[in-house]
Structure 1
């Protein structure tokens, strides 16, 4: 996004004999060259080299007069805006899969712009110069992060942090400036997490707690980041206790954010985030086999104000928790409840049926059949799902094999199930079901 350039007298022609005027003249000349390329193509790579050389020379001539600092600021803003124009015109997309030379050249130009601005340091007549300079490094750091150049991103964030470290946070009243401090800390935390410095990443999140300023939006941002790290830990399955700790931090920030919310829209948004965090907490308890805690989480979600949470995963979480507690009646109730919920994906409810039957055994065969048939016509059901359920219910030989074989035969003879295998692309599933039915004959 382009930024408003500094309001100051126009740059006068720099024909002075002093070294600093000469270097600024060179920098302005380079910017003009970049501007001439902004519409049609990227500036040549030599531009970055020449600009870096000028900045090195300029930094050695500090300190500067205030008028010269203003000229440096104006050049910095002018260079930043032309970088934005280049990015917009070329439609450069900075992502983990787009580490192109052009993308890196663009990020390096912005990095040099931030360096140029920081050389001027404080300037009389410009409000919050440290914040503005830090914002350049913050935005450039995000570009490097998206290009997965985490070392350069960290360098930008650390430079920005140095610039604002001497500020009295309590004295900053502008909401945008306070938000920048929080965003900077969160961005630095994400980069630390990417390079597996989890201790630093979490320490930075904890430090961010002093920067939320009682804002519901800021509490949400912090909660989302704690939740994101918790999800990563949960997916890695490396330290479930740490994942649970992070999710609890997210939940605490949701609670504080809800208390700070001023509008109905804010309350609805943060309540939705709170529910999402609670579902993850329930999933972690399930993996830790803390089944009572899972049941408590589901109850809290369902009994929440405004009608409670009706996410499809709640039935699955509750069913598996009841099975873990050996309470099959409650588990069956949750499983049958899935029949009336159209929002449950096929893979989820098939997995639930399999889990229920595995725990309940032969006694659960009729229930598994009833749930499957109940889902037909309400949810997307594939021939492959029918094969999975039939195969799981049939199982192997042993006690109850005849009962299970009879249930499978009844299941697959239902005309709605037969219709699933009539499709042309169901040939592989038909073959698999034939094998299941052959085993039925063997057991009977």
Structure 2
């Protein structure tokens, strides 16, 4: 071989270095490319999968060319960290990338990053020991451990297991911990063992998982280590509670284990076991620990807090609360918290128990809540400074027993609270107890007691009313609201407006009969307040004010209607009077829209006053009559402005009922009669008769009333009855029963007031009756009324016969006979009449003195 040929080929050593440098350059180039990608989100063309493939290929080739120089290894070390840091940056960017890409691409990126981390760990492992770098094996093991955790999260358990195994090998090196703290190396080895155990469990290698946990027992140096091991035993499916409990009980008798380590292990056990079993074990172990050494108050608070848990909704919360109650009530535990030196810890324990009790109270588990509140009282000193806190405890215990309907116990607790701190809260709770006992008198007395408390506010009276309404204790609610009214003064801020209180009172009282007098009182109060303060202030302005005013007016109207139907006319008049007054109250300066209701209320007020007079059989006083006159005058003025038909008002058609117009006329006739104003009576009736509201029934009633004492007015009676008769006879089918009644009354009125001075008027009535009967079917005109007409007409001839007034006698006898001919069943009477007429005629011819005169008696 020539020298030139030999010199052109590199030696094996030189070739080895060149290949190594080339591969190193390729690795560095790929890492630079990845670093560029991690520096921006816009470069989405970079394929991390390609980079990882290139890196893995270059690393595989490089690993076959070792060993390397220290300088080369240092370069590998740096490249490993650069690659790892780029992966960290990309991991931090991955959530942002996820928002701008699909979930599948994000998952692919996560997988690529795990591969890249694995390559970084392999590069560091390939670099090996580098001079100047402390504990390189530890750092390499750390890379493998962290990468294994990522593979585990991605559920690539085979790759995770491989990483953990490499980390274990690196840490098992006897020289691994030479340059760092032995504790740090032990902690890392413990973490690796626990991670390997988790992965082995996922790979269904239970024996390896348990073996790794057992191996980890030799690595426990601090409380955190115990907690980590306990979590592995109890939390990724082993749940070997018996074994864990055995270990814990062994720790109790081992005086060499610090309190903090033992406590941490207990907490880990309880977190995993939970429920009643975990709670009972934790309590037993803690009390066992107290028996062998001094236990700090802080440890007791910590255990109680951990066993109680974070909420009452979690599984077994009630059981855990019971265990804690037994734990904190143990005499040895209570003794731990005695003295001022542990005041802070004592308050902490009180807070734990109080908060737990409050949670159960909010969830309405009053039994458990009461037990926890009772136990919290054990951690309140019996000194002056703590009496307010003790009083608070007694008050909440009262609430718990109220919730359990244990009213005697509740009263005992609130009495104790009142001894320590008498205040409005105690008074109110006693009120609730009396209320639930249906002791209405006691509850009402307690309302008054509240007002004497130094911290009294009217809110409690308002709240008492709400409680009473909820319990259907209406007398108590009325007492509370009535009491509340005493605190209203102009300008004073109150929990609710006065109008609302009055409205509520009226509503409550109206629900039961017999409270009408009280209702009248409060409705009057509302009207008086509106008058004194101004309707806009009391009722409110605008639509709200109108609604409030109309509510009181309508309520008064409805109650007037109800009491009227019940026959309580005195109260009926009072309610209608109030309705008329409230309807007249202006809101925003307007009240005219209620004129129709005002008119109705006024009319019914006077009508009720008259009915009440008859009911109580005592005449209206002069002042009552004068008041009725004023009310009717006001109603009359409104009637003049309202037609008896229809009237447009606020886009509604309001009708004044015809019957109401009649009631007005009838009532006004009655009152005018008391004043002997006969002319006004006649004017009223004539005005009514000319209205569309008038009908024959109305006229008949007026006529009958006017025809008899003490309200007789013969002119009104004659007018009304004649008008009624005309109305009836104009009907296609007249009511002849009423026709006959009217004729009888007209004859009676005429007879009384006309007498002998106007005999023709009375005769005209009989003649009209005869004319009405002509053409009627038999029996169509009431027979008895017909007989009465015939006989009274015949008998009216008696006096003229006696006085020798022959022509007048003949006139009456003839009309009597004519009427008798129209009445069935009077044949015998008619024959007698005819015989008497013949006889009378003969005697008249011989100028008889009239000793024999006709006498027909029914």
CA distance in 2, matches of 1:70, 1:144: 32
Equivalent residue for 2:215? 207
Equivalent residue for 1:261? none
Equivalent residue for 2:67? 66
RMSD: 6.1
Equivalent residue for 2:197? 192
TM-score (norm 2): 0.34
Q: Which has the larger radius of gyration?
A: 2
Against the structure 1 CA distance between its residues 274 and 56, is the aligned structure 2 distance closer, same or farther, given a 3 Å change threshold? Answer: same
Structure 1 residue 105, shift from structure 2 partner: 4.4
Render the CA deviation track for 1:416-440: whole Å, top value 9, x for unaligned. 47999xxxxxxxxx99x969x969x
Equivalent residue for 2:188? 183
Q: Which SS does the other structure have where 1:168 is aligned?
A: coil
Render the CA deviation track for 1:63-91: whole Å, top value 9, x for unaligned. 32433786365235324235326636985
Against the structure 1 CA distance between its residues 292 and 23, is the aligned structure 2 distance closer, same or farther, given a 3 Å change threshold? Answer: closer
Structure 1 residue 27, shift from structure 2 partner: 1.5
The 8 Å contact of residues 141 and 156 in structure 1, kept in 2 or not, is answered as yes
Q: Which SS does the other structure have where 1:66 is aligned?
A: coil
Structure 1 residue 38, shift from structure 2 partner: 4.3
Against the structure 1 CA distance between its residues 203 and 340, is the aligned structure 2 distance closer, same or farther, given a 3 Å change threshold? Answer: same
Equivalent residue for 2:288? 296
The 8 Å contact of residues 150 and 194 in structure 1, kept in 2 or not, is answered as yes
The 8 Å contact of residues 223 and 250 in structure 1, kept in 2 or not, is answered as no
Structure 1 residue 189, shift from structure 2 partner: 0.7
The 8 Å contact of residues 322 and 331 in structure 1, kept in 2 or not, is answered as no
CA distance in 2, matches of 1:365, 1:23: 71
Structure 1 residue 351, shift from structure 2 partner: 7.3
What does 1:106-121 align with in structure 2 at a 5 Å threshold? 106-119=113-126
What does 1:382-397 align with in structure 2 at a 5 Å threshold? 386=396, 393=401
Against the structure 1 CA distance between its residues 202 and 394, is the aligned structure 2 distance closer, same or farther, given a 3 Å change threshold? Answer: farther
The 8 Å contact of residues 164 and 195 in structure 2, kept in 1 or not, is answered as no
CA distance in 1, matches of 2:222, 2:379: 43
Equivalent residue for 2:141? 134
What does 1:17-416 align with in structure 2 at a 5 Å threshold? 21-41=21-41, 46-56=47-57, 58-59=59-60, 62-67=63-68, 71=72, 74-84=75-85, 87=88, 91=92, 101=107, 105-119=112-126, 130-144=137-151, 152-165=159-172, 167-168=173-174, 172-176=177-181, 179-180=184-185, 182-190=187-195, 192-193=197-198, 196=201, 200-210=208-218, 218-229=221-232, 232=235, 240-245=241-246, 247=248, 255=256, 271-277=259-265, 287-288=279-280, 293-298=285-290, 303-304=294-295, 309=298, 311-312=300-301, 330=331, 341-343=347-349, 344-345=351-352, 346-350=354-358, 386=396, 393=401, 401=406, 403-404=408-409, 406-407=411-412, 415-416=424-425
Render the CA deviation track for 1:337-389: whole Å, top value 9, x for unaligned. 899524523433457999xx969x9xx8995797799999659x99xx95xx6
CA distance in 2, matches of 1:242, 1:248: 10
Q: Which SS does the other structure have where 1:175 is aligned?
A: coil
Against the structure 1 CA distance between its residues 189 and 34, is the aligned structure 2 distance closer, same or farther, given a 3 Å change threshold? Answer: same
The 8 Å contact of residues 92 and 103 in structure 1, kept in 2 or not, is answered as no
Structure 1 residue 157, shift from structure 2 partner: 1.3
- Segments of structure 2 that go 5 or more residues without pairing to the other structure are 1-13, 308-319, 430-462, 473-858
Tell me: higher relative CO, structure 1 or 2? Use CA pairs within 8 A at least 6 residues apart. 1
Structure 1 residue 112, shift from structure 2 partner: 1.3
The 8 Å contact of residues 187 and 219 in structure 2, kept in 1 or not, is answered as yes
CA distance in 2, matches of 1:378, 1:151: 60
